[in-house]
């Protein structure tokens, strides 16, 4: 038995014991629980005391992290080793948000100089667009940007923009991801090609959806601009600049293969957001993430927010057989966080083999889903409270939802009080006796109270994590996203999987091409399965 499988067995045994106890009782027997399980990190506060673990369970989880060498793997990541072992790549998104004098290397090759050069070029471009020094082909200043990209080339920038955009932005930033032409049509509606910049974002510059949308945007520009003038409106952001130039981009901003798509929002992938928000705001996002990097690198494991957040998830998945988690950000600005986390976590940790190719001996990443609060409360929270299976919840709670309104704490209270109430209700619940007493107090007779009480009973003892942000500042948003990135990595270390490849998305891409070929030929190929062939025939009519 390896040290890891021994630690896993111990961890599972303790978790099983904890499953039989109630979270509220843990508070009663451990006066230091809130303090021990609440950590501050880069301006955020993470409360894990409403999780199902006892003090013993918490320690067993930390032992598991130590045995799996979380610290060693973390140092390998920051040290630029080939952490993405199936593609032989370093994983260095922290280098993108590091201080200007940082000195990162990817597989031994220094990268910080190039990072700074790109960052400076982005800053210049953002300032020049803002000042009107950089204009379109007909010398008019840009007033709108259409950002084209999908997956990691879309979700992070979109999240940043929604979280930090001013109410009345000077640049009208629109995003297009879907290959459904309606997405592009909606984005272009009302825009003037002469004042619109199109930013095509694709790490590979081969993604079908992005290239199709880029062609649509180019055709739209071409209706008003000559090819020479149009080039000033087409910007590429990619790790394959030669492809972007060949396609027609007048300018390109690059990043390297050691930046994973879903970890790329710190790079030129966020160019359009940096332009529309202003460079100073984007820089503050980077600073917030950098502060979280510093915390992750230096805090002891038992006070390390990304590590503890990861361990809580591993405890639920591995220890308690809970294979889903809902995320509810209580801020309209963070409404895209669940979508961003779906890619970050499920594309990173939805794996069935370990780093060495052998089958996993654990469950790996859960299903992640969510909606902003309070909207989710009126949709799926019923099941979180009363469904027979436990779904752990995560509340991201913001004291001041807008940076400009620092005195608006009371205005935000109806929002955050709901988050606190949900977490409390999940933990405390309501017994059948309490439900019955309430019904009788409200005038029901005994028979009616007995009939309805089971429906009004809440089992409680349902775990949740709460992440507090004092305000929706650029720094806090940067720190929050970096917190989730490192958490995802730590989980991958414990599950012993490669969190940085995504081979699972490839098969569908290949088959979609084959189906399109059949459509061109006018009939399904004989080797196609009968169900797919029938569906295709019906769609081709
Ligand atoms: O299909 C999955 C994926 O490769 C993601 O990992 C990536 O973020 C997205 O597609 C977009 O890729 P690209 O930036 O190369 O267009």
Q: Of 284, 316, 351, which one is at a domain's C-terminal end?
A: 284
| 311 part of a folded domain | yes
Nearest atom (ligand 1) to Cα of 209? 16
Q: Are 136 and 168 found together in one domain? A: yes
| 331 part of a folded domain | yes
What pLDDT sits at residue 406?
46
Residue nearest to atom 1 of ligand 1 (CA): 505
Residue 207 Cβ < 6 Å to ligand 1 = yes
3-state helix, strand, coil in the chain (%, to 5): 55, 15, 30
- DSSP bridge partners of 217: none
Q: Are 485 and 345 found together in one domain? A: yes
Residue 261 Cβ < 6 Å to ligand 1 = yes
- Beta carbons of 112 and 98 less than 8 angstroms apart: yes
Q: Are 152 and 41 found together in one domain? A: no
Residue 237 Cβ < 6 Å to ligand 1 = no
| 449 part of a folded domain | no
For 70-119, how does the pLDDT look when each residue is reduced to its tens digit (9 = 90+)?
A: 999 999 999 999 999 999 999 999 999 999 999 999 999 999 999 999 99
Total tally of structural domains belonging to the chain: 3
Q: Of 284, 313, 343, which one is at a domain's C-terminal end?
A: 284
Nearest atom (ligand 1) to Cα of 505? 1
Residue 512 Cβ < 6 Å to ligand 1 = no
Residue nearest to atom 9 of ligand 1 (CA): 151
- DSSP bridge partners of 146: 174, 198
Domain region containing 310:
3-80+286-416+460-495
| Closest to 4 (Cα-Cα) out of 487, 352, 495, 353 | 495
What pLDDT sits at residue 14?
97
What pLDDT sits at residue 402?
73
**Distance between Cα 150 and ligand 1 center (Å):** 6
**Distance between Cα 182 and ligand 1 center (Å):** 21
**Distance between Cα 484 and ligand 1 center (Å):** 19
Q: Are 273 and 399 found together in one domain? A: no
Residue 27 DSSP SS3: helix
Domain CATH number, residue 62: 3.40.50.10490
**Distance between Cα 121 and ligand 1 center (Å):** 24
Q: Are 22 and 132 found together in one domain? A: no
Mean pLDDT of 200-227: 97
Whole-number Å distance between alpha carbons of 290 and 102: 11
**Distance between Cα 71 and ligand 1 center (Å):** 29
pTM equals 0.97
Active site residue 520: no
Q: Are 314 and 404 found together in one domain? A: yes
For 161-183, how does the pLDDT look when each residue is reduced to its tens digit (9 = 90+)?
A: 999 999 999 999 999 999 999 99
Tell whether the model's pLDDT for residue 330 goes beyond 60: yes
Residue 316 Cβ < 6 Å to ligand 1 = no
- Out of 378, 389, 517, 537, pick the active-site residue: 378
- Out of 134, 283, 345, 347, pick the active-site residue: 347
Q: Are 133 and 179 found together in one domain? A: yes
Q: Of 284, 307, 335, which one is at a domain's C-terminal end?
A: 284
Tell whether the model's pLDDT for residue 407 goes beyond 90: no
| 433 part of a folded domain | no
Residue nearest to atom 5 of ligand 1 (CA): 151
| Complex confidence, ipTM | 0.98
Active site residue 203: no
Residue 501 DSSP SS3: coil
Residue 488 Cβ < 6 Å to ligand 1 = no
* Secondary structure (DSSP) of 378-409: GTTHHHHHHSSS---EEEEEEEESSTT-TTTH
Nearest atom (ligand 1) to Cα of 509? 1
For 364-406, how does the pLDDT look when each residue is reduced to its tens digit (9 = 90+)?
A: 999 999 999 999 999 999 999 999 999 999 999 999 887 654 4
| Closest to 455 (Cα-Cα) out of 437, 432, 438 | 432
| Closest to 372 (Cα-Cα) out of 333, 410, 342 | 333
Mean pLDDT of 147-152: 98
| 151 part of a folded domain | yes
Average pLDDT over all residues of the chain? 96
Mutate to test the pocket of ligand 1, among 203, 339, 512 (most ligand atoms within 8 A of CB): 203
For 233-242, how does the pLDDT look when each residue is reduced to its tens digit (9 = 90+)?
A: 999 999 999 9
Tell whether the model's pLDDT for residue 409 goes beyond 80: no
| 19 part of a folded domain | yes
Q: Are 38 and 116 found together in one domain? A: no
Model confidence band, residue 1 (pLDDT cutoffs 50, 70, 90): confident
Nearest atom (ligand 1) to Cα of 149? 16
Model confidence band, residue 410 (pLDDT cutoffs 50, 70, 90): low
- Out of 16, 389, 446, 509, pick the active-site residue: 509
| 424 part of a folded domain | no
Residue 259 Cβ < 6 Å to ligand 1 = no
What pLDDT sits at residue 400?
87
**Distance between Cα 60 and ligand 1 center (Å):** 37
Active site residue 486: no
**Distance between Cα 460 and ligand 1 center (Å):** 40
- Beta carbons of 7 and 63 less than 8 angstroms apart: yes
* Secondary structure (DSSP) of 115-159: HHHHHHHHHHHHHHHHHTSSB-TTSPBP-EEEEE--GGGTHHHHH
Residue 267 Cβ < 6 Å to ligand 1 = no
What pLDDT sits at residue 7?
94
Q: Are 279 and 294 found together in one domain? A: no
For 279-314, how does the pLDDT look when each residue is reduced to its tens digit (9 = 90+)?
A: 999 999 999 999 999 999 999 999 999 999 999 999
| 228 part of a folded domain | yes
Cβ atoms within 10 Å of 150's Cβ, excluding its own: 20
Q: Are 406 and 312 found together in one domain? A: yes
Q: Are 230 and 378 found together in one domain? A: no
Q: Are 66 and 99 found together in one domain? A: no
Residue 53, token pair as written in the block: 């673990």
């Amino acid at each position: 038995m390896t040290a890891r499988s021994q630690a896993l067995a111990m961890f599972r045994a303790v978790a099983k014991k904890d499953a039989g106890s109630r979270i509220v009782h843990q508070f009663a027997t451990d006066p230091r629980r809130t303090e021990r399980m609440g950590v501050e990190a880069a301006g955020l506060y993470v409360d894990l005391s409403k999780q199902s673990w006892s003090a013993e369970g918490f320690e067993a989880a930390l032992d598991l992290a130590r045995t799996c060498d979380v610290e060693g793997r973390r140092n390998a990541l920051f040290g630029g080793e080939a952490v993405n072992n199936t593609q032989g790549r370093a994983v260095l998104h922290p280098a993108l948000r590091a201080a200007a004098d940082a000195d990162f290397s990817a597989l031994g090759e220094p990268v910080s100089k190039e990072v700074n050069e790109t960052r400076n070029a982005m800053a210049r471009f953002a300032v020049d667009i803002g000042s009107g020094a950089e204009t379109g082909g007909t010398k008019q200043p840009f007033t709108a940007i259409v950002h084209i990209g999908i997956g990691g080339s879309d979700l992070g920038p979109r999240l940043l923009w929604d979280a930090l955009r001013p109410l009345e932005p000077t640049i009208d930033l629109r995003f297009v991801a879907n290959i459904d032409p309606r997405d592009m049509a909606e984005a272009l509606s009302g825009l003037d090609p002469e004042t619109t910049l199109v930013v095509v974002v694709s790490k590979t510059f081969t993604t079908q959806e992005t290239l199709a949308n880029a062609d649509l945007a180019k055709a739209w520009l071409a209706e008003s601009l000559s090819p020479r003038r149009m080039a000033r409106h087409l910007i590429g952001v990619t790790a394959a600049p030669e492809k972007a130039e060949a396609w027609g981009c007048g300018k390109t901003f690059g990043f390297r293969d050691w930046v994973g798509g879903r970890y790329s929002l710190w790079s030129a992938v966020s160019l359009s957001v940096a332009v529309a928000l202003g460079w100073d705001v984007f820089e503050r996002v980077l600073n917030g993430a950098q502060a979280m990097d510093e915390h992750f690198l230096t805090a002891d494991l038992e006070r390390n927010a990304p590590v503890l957040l990861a361990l809580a998830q591993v405890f639920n998945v591995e220890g308690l057989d809970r294979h889903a988690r809902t995320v509810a950000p209580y801020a309209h600005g963070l409404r895209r966080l669940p979508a961003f986390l779906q890619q970050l976590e499920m594309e990173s940790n939805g794996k069935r083999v370990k780093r060495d190719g052998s089958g996993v001996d654990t469950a790996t990443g859960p299903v992640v889903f969510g909606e902003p609060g309070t909207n989710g409360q009126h949709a799926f929270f019923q099941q979180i409270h009363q469904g027979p299976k436990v779904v752990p919840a995560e509340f991201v709670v913001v004291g001041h939802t807008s940076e400009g309104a620092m005195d608006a704490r009371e205005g935000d209270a109806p929002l955050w009080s709901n988050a606190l109430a949900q977490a409390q209700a999940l933990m405390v619940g309501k017994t059948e006796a309490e439900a019955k007493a309430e019904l009788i107090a409200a005038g029901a007779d005994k028979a009616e109270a007995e009939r309805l009480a089971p429906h009004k009973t809440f089992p409680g003892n349902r775990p949740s994590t709460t992440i507090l942000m004092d305000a929706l500042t650029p720094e806090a948003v940067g720190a929050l996203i970096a917190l989730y990135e490192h958490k995802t990595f730590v989980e991958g270390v414990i599950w012993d999987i490669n969190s940085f490849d995504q081979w699972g998305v490839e098969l569908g891409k290949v088959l979609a091409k084959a189906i399109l070929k059949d459509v061109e030929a006018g009939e399904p190929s004989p080797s196609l399965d009968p169900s797919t062939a029938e569906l295709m025939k019906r769609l081709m009519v």
